[in-house]
Structure 1
Amino acid sequence: MQLGADHVRVRVPATSANLGPGFDALGLALGLHDVLEVRALASDEVVVDVVGEGAGEVPGDASHLVVRALRAALELAGAPQTGLHLTCENQVPHGRGLGSSAAAVVAGIVAARALVADPEVLDDATVLRLATQFEGHPDNAAPAILGGATVAWTSAAPGHEGARAVRLAVHPDLEATVLVPSARLATSHARGVLPASVPHADAALNAGRAALLVEAIARRPELLLEATEDRLHQSYRSGVMPTSWELVQALRAEGLAATVSGAGPTVLVLSASAERPRLDAVVDDLLSGADEWEPRRLAIDEDGVRAERVPRGARTAPVGGW
């Protein structure tokens, strides 16, 4: 497999996983993006320039997660490895439960897809399987790839092995508000406090609520509060993100469908557009004087990751110019 381009641009969204009861399964793509440009170099050199989130923190060499994912995808496609110049303009916060690592992995794989002569060798199903090998679970990678809301799972059925996902319908009035704290939390730490087993009654409740959440997201936003109830993971993680858990409980006491976003510590609130004035008032009241929280209302990203080949001589586009 030969390369079909030497300069590509990729845009990938932030994601929120779990959405309450859909642990390791449900996810939502959000209107906050990382934009990357990749140039293939004739030398073996790898250069990584980062602006925005992660600048000065993430590696600037071949150990960068985007580069590792890109190289793994080139190897899978049977394409030659090259030197790389990677430029990242990052908006997705790191370590906040908004899918920054999934965004990096998906962006790297899809950059490889845009570089190779036959992109179909890295179709969406292959991208998801490879991304899951990096991530360990597909709940963030699926909405980053497909956009909108998704259900993802890992299958052992003959002929369907590996990570799989489907898109869900999303009600046009659904809105997402994220309350992003200044504190970070490693996913490994958040997962490490989960119990090996839970009461049968709690598992049964979550199964029902996850099914109801599919209906609430697609057709019945008025059911979001009940549909986002969870007993599998959030309360067990309260000790490692006490402020986030307190905020989730306070918002839910006001009738708002608040959950921990992914492994936290960001708080996600799902709502219908008609709830916006009351949501704003409640958030303003609860966060009054709390400078460590940044509220942001985000659109639902319906596109998922996008990539394009950049013609020779074309100027680099800013994030807002996609």
Structure 2
Amino acid sequence: MSVVSGVTVSVPATTANLGPGFDCIGAALTLYNEFKFTRLQAGGLMIHVTGAEALRVQTDESNLLYQAFLKLYQYIDQTPPSVNIEIQLGVPLARGLGSSATAIVGGLVAANQLAGAPLSELQVMELAIAMEGHPDNVVPALLGGCRLAATSNTGWEICDIPWHQDIVPVVAIPDFELSTKEARRVLPTEVSRADAIFNTAHLGLLLRGLQTGKGEWLQAALQDKLHQPYRQALIPGYEAVNAAAVAAGAYGMVISGAGPTLLALVNAANSQATEVAMATAWEAAGITATVRSLSLDTQGAVFT
């Protein structure tokens, strides 16, 4: 087996939950982090980071990307090589767009390639889920597309969710952060039977709405009773941005992952108007936001 001297991995951002799909559904988006690993002959670890938030990324062994890299070598019981890591940031940190998932997936995929690909894609995915704690971000980050993850008697079952070509995801990324820990802290430990039934019905409708692009179904399907009602208060201007997006023609708006990024699903014809409306609404609340129309990434993590 030939020794690979280096590998570059590109990993897409993700949006999790999509309203009623709490902790089980996620979609990959056309926004990327890139990680380049090169073997070092002299030993040690070097990490260089570029991008808008580069100074906030750890450059020692505590770096999450490197921790994932080590995790795979520990799993296969091999000594990890010394590496130089170059990180190009394109996914905002702590904004609900899966930045930690890109690091976990990027580190595992890079390690697997440098080790000669001893693990299957399924094994890499299971390691990623174990590190992240839930599948909604890491699964689409690795595989691409929109994915539903469910446990089975033998592990995980991953279902590809068809996404109609006319549905455009518009992300509104504010200039403030919201930690996943804080977003989970506000959630109740128990929910009513009525709320559980509500989400079950709306998740089923969401899957059909995404497949068909039927606006009436999507308008109803994006509602949720398990997490968004509790998290909205953590996001200043939420109601105003939601109202503006819907008035501009969006099918609806949800919290992307744990937030604070907000995601609107729109028809392509209304995407630009929705961008302007969401940015304007947040600006009126004194918040600067970057608003972009993206597409569904269908490739997931790609390495060269």
Pairwise TM-score range, normalised by the shorter structure: over 0.9
1:129 touches 1:164 (CA, 8 Å); kept in 2?
no
The residue that corresponds to 1:192 in the other structure is 185
Letter aligned with residue 229 of structure 2:
S
Q: Which runs of 5+ in 1 are unaligned?
A: 309-322
Equivalent residues in 2 for 1:115-194 (5 A)? 115-117=114-116, 119=117, 121-155=118-152, 157=153, 160-161=154-155, 163-194=156-187
Partner in structure 2 of residue 294 of structure 1: 290
Asked if structure 2 preserves the Cα contact closer than 8 Å seen for 1:21 and 1:228, the reply is: yes
Residue-by-residue CA offset, 1:73-126 (whole Å, 9 max, x unaligned): 122234331111100001100010000000100000011122122x2x322211
- Give the conservation status (yes or no) of the 8 Å contact 1:3–1:116: no
Structure 1 residues 218-227 or 17-26, which shifts more?
A: 218-227
SS at match of 2:60: coil
| Secondary structure, aligned partner of 1:238 | helix
Structure-1 residue corresponding to 2:302: 306
Shift of 1:288: 4.9
CA contact (8 A) 1:176 1:268 kept: yes
Could you list the per-position Cα deviations for residues 159-215 of structure 1 after superposition, in whole angstroms to 9, with x for gaps in the alignment?
x22x44222111111211100000001101100110011121111111111111111
AA aligned opposite 1:26:
I
Please tell me the root mean square deviation across aligned C-alpha atoms, in Å. Answer: 1.9
The amino acid that maps onto 1:46 is L
Shift of 1:274: 2.7
How far the C-alpha of 1:255 sits from its partner, in A, is: 5.5
Find out whether 1:230 has 2:224 as its counterpart. yes
Match of 1:264 in 2: 259
Matches within 5 A, 1:1-322: 4-117=3-116, 119=117, 121-155=118-152, 157=153, 160-161=154-155, 163-222=156-215, 223-252=217-246, 256=250, 257-280=252-275, 282-283=277-278, 285-289=280-284, 290=286, 292-308=288-304
SS of equivalent residue, structure 1 residue 114: helix
Q: What is the Cα deviation at residue 154 of structure 1?
A: 3.3
Amino acid in the other structure paired with 1:136: G
Task: Answer yes or no: is the 8 Å Cα contact 1:41–1:84 preserved in 2.
Answer: yes
Letter in 2 for 1:138: P
- Bigger shift: residues 15-24 or 266-275: 266-275
Cα distance change of structure 1 residues 243 and 260 upon mapping to structure 2, 3 Å threshold = same
Q: In structure 2, what is the Cα distance between the partners aligned to 1:25 and 1:63?
A: 28
My pick for the range that moved more, 78-87 or 207-216, is 78-87
Instruction: Tell me by how many angstroms 1:7 deviates.
Output: 0.6
**Could you tell me whether the CA contact under 8 Å between 1:53 and 1:92 is conserved in 2?**
no
Give a deviation string over 1:225-269, Cα, whole Å, max 9, x none: 211111110111123223335423553466621000000000001
Would the alpha carbon gap of residues 245 and 186 (structure 1) be closer, same or farther in structure 2, given more than 3 Å must change? farther
Give me the whole-angstrom Cα distance separating, in 1, the residues matched to 2:22 and 2:240: 20
Mapped contact 1:40–1:84 kept (Cα < 8 A)? yes
Identical counterparts, % of pairs: 35
Q: Secondary structure at the match of 1:242?
A: coil
Structure 2 distance, partners of 1:208, 1:262, is: 20
User: Aligned partners of 2:275, 2:56: CA distance in 1, in Å?
Assistant: 33
User: How many residues in Structure 1 have an aligned counterpart in Structure 2?
Assistant: 301
Provide the C-alpha distance between the structure 1 equivalents of 2:28 and 2:115, rounded to a whole number of angstroms. Answer: 26
Runs of 5+ consecutive residues of structure 2 not aligned to the other structure: none
CA deviation map 1:261-293 (0-9, x unaligned): 000000001122133354245335524555511
Distance 2:282 2:133 in 1: 34
- The AA in structure 2 aligned to 1:301 is D
Task: Assess, with a 3 A threshold, how the Cα gap between structure 1 residues 3 and 98 changes in structure 2: closer, same or farther.
Answer: farther
**Which whole-Å deviations, capped at 9, do the CAs of 1:115-158 have from their partners, x for residues lacking one?**
122x2x32221122111121110100011011110001333x0x
Q: SS in structure 1 opposite 2:66?
A: helix
Which has the larger displacement, 97-106 or 51-60? Answer: 51-60
